[in-house]
Every structure is written in C-alpha cells, then in structure tokens.
C-alpha cells in the first residue's frame, strides 16, 4: 500500500464528518459510509476498480457497486466528475 494511505483515509473521514455551514461538498460527503469513503479516496487518487478491489481485499463487483452508490449519493455520473467536484476533499486537512 502507498505510504500514508490510512492517514489520508483518516483525514477524508474527518473531513466528511466535519459540518461546514453552506458547504454542499461537506454535506454530501457526510452521506458516505466508511467503506464508500475508502473507495472514494482511491478513485480520487486515480486507482481503477480492479486496483481498489485488490487494495481493499474486496471483489471487483463489490467495489463497482460501492462506486455506483457513491455516484448516486454525490450526484455525479463519472469518475472524472467525482474528481473535479470532490477531489479537493482528498487534499484538505
């Protein structure tokens, strides 16, 4: 695993649970489960579904379904849209 993976995950989890009034991003990120937050972070870093599955010890179909749930909750329709709209959450804190 990459150095600092769990540290970044902790930061994303902290960021998504931190409520900032008027911030649509933080409100929508609060909807993610911990598993979705892990997949979200890896997707924002540019990992493929197969790479995410390998790193999280999950089946590709599980990660694919998690990705669909993330897209629905965060109101995006592609990984590019996810990165453009929410990638900054991965860099904050």
Q: Hey, what domains does the chain have and what are their CATH numbers?
A: 5-90 (1.10.10.10)
Average pLDDT over residues 33-52: 90
Looking at residue 8, its pLDDT comes to 63
The overall average pLDDT reported for the chain is 76
* Residue 51 to residues 25, 30, 42, Cα–Cα distance (Å): 26, 25, 9
Copy the structure tokens of residue 48.
């493929």
Can you give the pLDDT at residue 19? 43
Model's pTM, two decimal places? 0.67
């Amino acid at each position: 695993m990459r150095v600092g993976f769990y540290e970044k995950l902790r930061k994303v989890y902290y960021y998504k649970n931190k409520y900032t009034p008027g911030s649509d991003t933080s409100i929508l990120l609060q909807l993610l489960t911990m598993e979705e937050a892990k997949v979200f972070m890896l997707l924002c870093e540019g990992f493929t579904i197969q790479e995410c599955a390998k790193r999280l010890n999950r089946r590709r179909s599980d990660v694919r379904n998690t990705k669909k749930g993330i897209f629905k909750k965060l109101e995006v329709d592609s990984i590019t849209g996810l990165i453009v709209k929410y990638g900054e959450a991965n860099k904050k804190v």
